[in-house]
Amino acid sequence: MRLPRHVERSTGIVGLLCALYGAVGLFASTVPVENRFVVLLAGRTPSLLLLTLFGAVVATLGRRWIAAGACLAVCALGTALLAPLYLPGADGVSPSAATGPTIRVMQANTKIGQADPAELVRTVRNRDIDILTVQELTDESIEAMHLAGLDEALPHRFVVSRGPGGEGGGIYSRFPLSNTRDLDGYLSANLTADVDVGLREPLALLAVHPAPAYLFPAQLWAAELRGIHDEMRADALRDNVIVSGDFNASYTQPQYRALLTDGYADAADQAGAGLVPTMPAARWYPAITGIDRIITKGAAVTSLERIDIAGSDHHGVVADIRLRTDGA
């Protein structure tokens, strides 16, 4: 049964508009333009592709085949962009080369110290976390997590507080830390440390939190991501490197994908975990963007899971990471 002619025409218009929205999102996802609108649009590309798929259905119901075809073509291009995240085994990463011990890493943003410290520590204990990277710490939240027992669960720490505004950050570890450093020139704490996991060479760890493009100029956001990339390149010859944090950037933004060079690979890409959206949390609608991420070099991610962080507007992520031994 055919729809009324005026309804069919409307479905064609809807389909073409949806195809246009998706195409604009894909374009934003391929051009490294330092413009806030373009950057934020690129981060919404998955949602725009879902809208495009809806447009394909509507146009098909109205027998508007050109509009439906345009939507499907855009969806096909979007699939090519996102498919690697759903297929285990990132390009250029050989899990067989990582033959060492497995450690478990957790990433958590505490929403300016508002995350429930007792629940956070309970998660660390229940999930046998070895290393925790945490952002948006305040003096009060650092003390609250200490009183809740975080320093007992993970006795080695490097924590930087920058007052009540949530610009602090921390690394908590089951293993000894050395060569700790708070990187200069960033709005929030971006930390590095060597972690003695019992191998010939320490694990290089970066706990990152670049400035968000939705609050600050896109040029500043991009510059801080480039600075993080420089630190990653400096560690590229190390056997094992883990970069964990709130990147304020998602896989569909080209500035984030630019980090994935020199043997570095995204954890979701390695594990086939998909988009893993982490923000916003604790809303009536689901999280729509994945900015809490883990990247590794040498070490191989064997599993990645999103978790709840009580009291935060972010979900956290937990990754099992198999380390590479002796430059194998």
Q: Dump pLDDT digits (tens) for 28-38.
A: 999 999 999 99
**How many angstroms separate the CA atoms of 275 and 89, rounded?**
15
Same domain, 16 and 61: yes
* Domain boundary, last residue among 86, 119, 136: 86
Number of structural domains (the chain) is 2
pTM over 0.85? The answer is yes
Q: Does residue 4 surpass a pLDDT of 80? A: no
Range of the domain at 43: 5-86
**Exposed e or buried b for every residue in 177-206, given b needs 16+ CB within 10 A?**
beebeebeebbbbbbbbbbebebebbbbbb
Same domain, 45 and 111: no
Q: Which tokens is 296 given?
A: 């590794």
Q: Does residue 280 surpass a pLDDT of 60? A: yes
* Domain boundary, last residue among 29, 63, 86: 86
Task: Check residues 78 and 165 and name the one with the higher pLDDT.
Answer: 78
Same domain, 210 and 103: yes
Same domain, 174 and 244: yes
Q: Does residue 327 surpass a pLDDT of 60? A: no
pLDDT band at 99 (very low <50, low <70, confident <90, very high): confident
**How many angstroms separate the CA atoms of 293 and 107, rounded?**
8
pLDDT band at 239 (very low <50, low <70, confident <90, very high): very high
Same domain, 70 and 213: no
With a CB cutoff of 8 Å and minimum separation 6, the contacts of 134 are 107, 108, 109, 110, 169, 170, 171, 172, 207
**One-letter amino acid of 119:** E
Same domain, 174 and 146: yes
Q: Return the SS3 of 49.
A: helix
Q: How many residues does the chain have?
A: 328
Convert the pLDDT of each residue in 137-190 to its tens digit.
999 999 999 999 999 999 999 999 988 889 999 999 999 999 999 999 999 999
Helix (H) or strand (E) holding 121: helix 117-126
Same domain, 213 and 284: yes
Same domain, 119 and 200: yes
- Mean pLDDT of the region 242-251: 97
* Domain boundary, last residue among 54, 86, 118: 86
pLDDT band at 126 (very low <50, low <70, confident <90, very high): very high
Same domain, 174 and 35: no
Task: Check residues 168 and 63 and name the one with the higher pLDDT.
Answer: 168
Closest alpha carbon to 191 in 171, 175, 161:
171
Same domain, 188 and 162: yes
Strands 102-109 and 131-137: parallel
**How many angstroms separate the CA atoms of 169 and 136, rounded?**
6
